[in-house]
Amino acid sequence: LFQVNGHNPGSDGQAREYLREDLQEFPGGEVLLYKLDDLTRVNPVTLETVLRCLQARYMADTFYTNAGCTLVALNPFKPVPQLYSPELMREYHAAPQPQKLKPHVFTVGEQTYRNVKSLIEPVNQSIVVSGESGAGKSWTSCCLMKFYAVVATSPASWESHKIAERIEQRILNSNPVMEAFGNACTLRNNNSSRFGKFIQLQLNRAQQMTGATVQTYLLEKTRVACQASSERNFHIFYQICKGASEDERLQWHLPEGAAFSWLPNPERSLEEDCFEVTREAMLHLGIDTPTQNNIFKVLAGLLHLGNIQFATSEDEAQPCQPMDDAKYSVRTAASLLGLPEDVLLETVQIRTIRAGRQQQVFRKPCPRAECDTRRDCLAKLIYARLFDWLVSVINSSICADTDSWTTFIGLLDVYGFESFPDNSLEQLCINYANEKLQQHFVAHYLRAQQEYAVEGLEWSFVNYQDNQSCLDLIEGSPISICSLIDEECRLNRPSSAAQLQTRIETALAGSPCLGHNKLSREPSFIVVHYAGPVRYHTAGLVEKNKDPIPPELTRLLQQSQDPLLMGLFPTNPKEKTQEEPSGQSRAPVLTVVSKFKASLEQLLQVLHSTTPHYIRCIKPNSQGQAQTFLQEEVLSQLEACGLVETIHISAAGFPIRVSHQNFVERYKLLRRLRPRTSSGPRSPYPAKWLPEWCPHSEEATLEPLIQDILHTLPVLTQAAAIPGDSAEVMPAPMHCGRTKVFMTDSMLELLECGRARVLEQCARCIQGGWRRHRHREQERQRRATIRSFLVTRKHIQRLHAAATVIKRAWQKWRIRMACLAAKELDGVEEEHFSQAPCSLSTSPLQTRLLEAIIRLWPLGLVLANTAMGVGSFQRKLVLWACLQLPRGSPSSYTVQTAQDQAGVTSIRALPQGSIKFHCRKSPLRYADIRPEPSRYSVTGFNQILLERHRLIHM
């Protein structure tokens, strides 16, 4: 006999007494138990020892413990803010070896992040968070999302930093919205997820988070219209009733103290009843305030829809009429949903039937029970469409383009194993999903023993609990519970709960996981799950699996004038639903079970393509009290998840398996650490600790390379040893199979550290070579600059000397020319003044000036014909050329003139053009700057007078 739905048979009490005695005789000091961070160090490894160790750590406020390749997380049932601070996140992210720190959920997050960065196949990672309802799965997933949002967003530019912050905020804001619309208070958990979700965090090539996607599974939409005793509806209904303002209450018709049939236990206040947090998160996700008000108005309409109660009709031909106190609810619900009141009431009261080849329409009034069912179906249809729309909005807000991300880290948060006094199709699907995930865990870690034998490793097998027989009972072929339920849905006949029970017990009588409680008065069957037996009631099972949606309900919602409902239910559906078959076609009906199985298979395909990591959440007690550790409840959870077998295999097994080709490609750098000569220092490790090579590799070329890598393990182990530790250092176990290399996490860490050290040495070598090359180039450039400077300086010195000589000669020549010109001009002037007659009517000074003007005007014409703006130097050269001065000694310079009879002086040779000098660029400073032009703009004959006047004054 076994436990069923929380009721223990009488023979179980004696076993509990034996367990208490075993726990009291547990060997070892209890004071040191809380210091054991890994349960593989417990000796001996039994359920009792593991239980005592977890209890000691829990009472010491240590809530995370390693169990080999799995992390065990105990729910503290109290806020521990310092355990999840951003500073602690950065500490685990910056740690060289996070495994050396205390066990934490951040250790798993950092390990997955580093696996993505290391590009070890498979690159994509997944974290499966499992446990019972209320064990803390949602909180663990939220902490992981916050961790990735902190460590995976470190862009360089300010603009990229703002984009990363926006993505991080949107990803974190998706969680309160999903919890408000998808979580509810149950008997076992105040914030129980009533749907499963797989969050895919998308990373780019730089391992920065660029977006995310959310995929949901099996929303428990029946909770909208049906809540068990002491349970509540979805959180969002309580949030709008408690957090709405006065104006919003008037708009949504939610007066203070109003009672609603679908809102049980409204007086109970929870931490999740925070309306402002949900509204703010929706605003960050791009849902503006008018759209939010529209959503909440529709939800208020659903609450009023639940208050519509029908009275039994005495005449079956007449429809059931709503009760007197329900007429206000009909009017209010129709107004909030944007529907005509009479059409809403008629659709719920009357069923439309199409029959015959001509598809004739018949209208049949519904009995009271069917009216309630159609009313509930209308509410579930609206809420399910609204939830899917919210998920699509969240994905469009946080999802990145396909080209912008290359890898992902998946977080799977599904509903935990459930067992209630009344279990139906929802619990069957939930427990079926947990069975599949348990099988995935078993296949990844426990069934790996079979691979050891295939690869040629010596291995002593550890017995473990395989749940394949339970899965065969639920989903097996050709006959299983799911196939029988689907077959009942396809048969066009009323379903009988007793008949379904008989069919299941008869067809599956040989299954060891199927049981029957003969004392139960209600039709039911029992399934022995890996976590314990659960009794499922067959009443209503087939109807829930069909999930029938009358077509007239869909047509009713398509007539709504509400903007939100018009978008959720378009008037021109492109695809025909299962409620509207075309003609006489008999297409297979999609049932709830078949759709759930398809989505679950897709999820498992994704998990199989990634590197999985497991976090087992344990609930210390069912009352949610802090510092309370109930051994019996924790023990049942440890037995269910097979934690002891996991510890055994993790302690002796090799969770890391790498193919020979990938192993060589990644760790061939370690051959640099191998001693070059055989006469070097002998390895201090015994031969029995060195990994043995099994010569079964398909590629013979890889054997010597792997052998070289394996011979570097003693060097790596000695380098990783703590200085001053006198204990014997032994390398972690590692074995080579026929096609793969098997190693433990510690060995992988050792190899990665050695690889990082070799890469660091190579980087330093490259860096040193580059620095030497850069230093040599800089020295060569410096010497070339010095040589060029010296050569240039000598050349400039020569040019300066030549320029000095030219300047001195020019100064001398200019002085001589000035003296000679003055002398010759004065001689000509005196000669002509002595020969010309003087007028009696003029004064002697005027007579001399007139004589100078008459005789010297040709020289003014010559000077006027020179280039404009010519300086004094070029003007004197022109004068010298016009006067044809000889090139002899300065004393031999004479002016040759020809005088006509009128006494006018003429120039013998006129200049043929302006004189230009062509020379190289002078090294002298300011040599290329032209002197200022003459201040006198007067040229020609008048200029002669002015210059003469100036000479006279001088």
Encode pLDDT of 302-312 as tens digits: 999 999 999 98
Which of 127-141, 161-175, 368-382, 816-830 is predicted most confidently? 368-382
Q: What tokens appear for 184 in the block?
A: 């509810």
DSSP E strand stretches across 372-465:
407-413
Comparison of pLDDT for 902 and 566, the residue scoring more: 566
- pLDDT tops 80 at residue 21: no
Q: What is the mean pLDDT of residues 56-63?
A: 92
Domains and CATH numbers, the chain: 467-576+588-596 (1.20.58.530), 656-722+729-835 (no CATH), 839-918+934-954 (no CATH)
pLDDT, tens only, 371-383: 999 999 999 999 9
Q: Which of 25-29, 413-417, 732-736, 861-865 has the lowest mean pLDDT?
A: 25-29
Q: What is the mean pLDDT of residues 301-329?
A: 90
The pLDDT score that the predictor gives to residue 55 is: 92
- pLDDT tops 70 at residue 29: no
pLDDT, tens only, 75-94: 999 999 889 998 999 999 98
What sections of 2-79 are H helices per DSSP?
12-24, 47-59
Which of 20-29, 715-724, 939-948 is predicted most confidently? 715-724
The pLDDT score that the predictor gives to residue 449 is: 67
CA dist list (Å): 265 to 32, 227, 606, 622: 45, 10, 40, 20
Comparison of pLDDT for 375 and 747, the residue scoring more: 375
Q: What is the mean pLDDT of residues 867-887?
A: 53
Comparison of pLDDT for 27 and 105, the residue scoring more: 105
| Terminal-to-terminal C-alpha distance of the chain | 142
- pLDDT tops 90 at residue 49: no
871 neighbors 856 (Cβ within 8 angstroms): no
195 neighbors 389 (Cβ within 8 angstroms): no
Q: Does residue 131 have a known ligand-binding role?
A: yes
pLDDT, tens only, 204-215: 888 888 888 999
Q: What is the reported pTM?
A: 0.69
Query: What b/e readout covers 824-847, taking b as 16+ CB neighbours within 10 angstroms?
Result: bbeebbeebeeeeeeeeeeeeeeb
203 neighbors 409 (Cβ within 8 angstroms): yes
Q: How confident is the model at residue 925 (pLDDT cuts 50, 70, 90)?
A: low
CA dist list (Å): 90 to 96, 107, 167: 12, 11, 19
The pLDDT score that the predictor gives to residue 950 is: 56
- pLDDT tops 70 at residue 156: no
CA dist list (Å): 765 to 665, 669, 777, 829: 21, 14, 18, 92
Q: Does residue 544 have a known ligand-binding role?
A: no
The pLDDT score that the predictor gives to residue 5 is: 47
- pLDDT tops 50 at residue 196: yes
CA dist list (Å): 63 to 77, 100, 192, 539, 831: 11, 17, 20, 42, 129
Comparison of pLDDT for 554 and 664, the residue scoring more: 554
**What share of the chain has pLDDT > 70, as a percent?**
73
Rg for the chain, CA atoms, rounded: 50
Q: How confident is the model at residue 949 (pLDDT cuts 50, 70, 90)?
A: low
Q: Residue 828: enclosing H or E segment and its boundaries? A: helix 745-835
Q: What is the mean pLDDT of residues 150-164?
A: 66
Q: Does residue 137 have a known ligand-binding role?
A: yes
Q: How confident is the model at residue 901 (pLDDT cuts 50, 70, 90)?
A: very low
Q: What is the mean pLDDT of residues 545-559?
A: 90
Q: Residue 794: enclosing H or E segment and its boundaries? A: helix 745-835
Q: How confident is the model at residue 166 (pLDDT cuts 50, 70, 90)?
A: confident
The pLDDT score that the predictor gives to residue 683 is: 43
- pLDDT tops 80 at residue 38: yes
**What share of the chain has pLDDT > 90, as a percent?**
33
Signed CA dihedral, 218, 223, 228, 234: sign only: positive
Q: What tokens appear for 624 in the block?
A: 């949610």
Q: How confident is the model at residue 517 (pLDDT cuts 50, 70, 90)?
A: confident
pLDDT, tens only, 853-866: 555 555 555 555 55
Rounding to the nearest 10 degrees, give the CA dihedral for residues 351, 300, 384, 180. -160
Q: What is the DSSP string of 107-122?
A: HHHHHHHHHHHHTPSS
- pLDDT tops 70 at residue 787: yes
Q: What tokens appear for 900 in the block?
A: 């006509």
pLDDT, tens only, 675-727: 654 444 444 444 443 444 444 444 566 777 777 777 777 777 766 665 544 44
CA distance 162 to 168: 10
Q: Does residue 136 have a known ligand-binding role?
A: yes
Query: What b/e readout covers 113-152, taking b as 16+ CB neighbours within 10 angstroms?
Result: bebbeeebeebbbbbbbbbbbbbbbbbbbbbbbbbbbbbb
Q: Does residue 396 have a known ligand-binding role?
A: no
pLDDT, tens only, 906-924: 444 444 455 554 555 555 5
Closest among 486, 568, 592, 538 to 218, alpha carbons compared? 592
- Residue 337 CB neighbours (<10 A): 24
200 CB-near residues (< 8 Å, 6+ apart): 212, 213, 214, 215, 408, 409, 410
The pLDDT score that the predictor gives to residue 9 is: 43
CA distance 708 to 691: 12
Comparison of pLDDT for 523 and 675, the residue scoring more: 523
Mean predicted lDDT score pLDDT of the chain:
78
Q: Does residue 132 have a known ligand-binding role?
A: yes
